[in-house]
Amino acid sequence: MIFGVGCDIAKVSRFEKWVLSKDMISRFYNENEHVSENAGLQRKCEFYASRFAAKEAFSKALGTGIRGFNLNEVFISKDDNEKPEIKVLGNAKKMLEEKCGEKYKIHVSLSHEKEYALAFVVIEIIA
């Protein structure tokens, strides 16, 4: 059963000042979601913009907005096939389990191009 759906778009150029500030990155991103230092500025901005959009989309799918948890408790990792997946920790996980129980699956799709990054999230309750 589908519990919730969320979508978000972010302007990539907005993240340039974030990329240049380690404080902003550590505030909003989990230590497990960092782009290579060798990546160019545009690539770094796309990386962080798409992940920020995923965090926003997750909060919309959960139905809470970004309230009750920190954004760095929701992060993108990759599975064995390099497919992105959302992981949740702390209060975000507690809220998710309160709403969906312990059997759920979070689907995520990320996309970006030069100017915009987009994320789409579906939270599915597994019966």
Q: Is 23 annotated as a binding residue?
A: no
8 is in an annotated binding site: yes
- Rounded to 5 degrees, φ, ψ at 10 are -135, 140
54 within 8 A of 120, measured Cβ to Cβ:
no
Could you say which of 60, 83, 87, 93 is catalytic?
Answer: 60
Q: What is the dihedral of CA 22, 117, 77, 89, to 10 degrees?
A: 70
Q: Is 22 a catalytic residue?
A: no
DSSP letter, residue 10: E
**String of b and e for 38-77 (b: at least 16 CB within 10 Å)?**
eeeeeebbbbbbbbbbbbbbbbbbbebeeeebebbbbbbe
Active site residue 60: yes
41-62 and 90-100 helices cross at what angle (nearest 10)?
A: 40
Annotated binding site for Mg(2+): 8, 56
The residues carrying an active-site annotation are: 60, 112
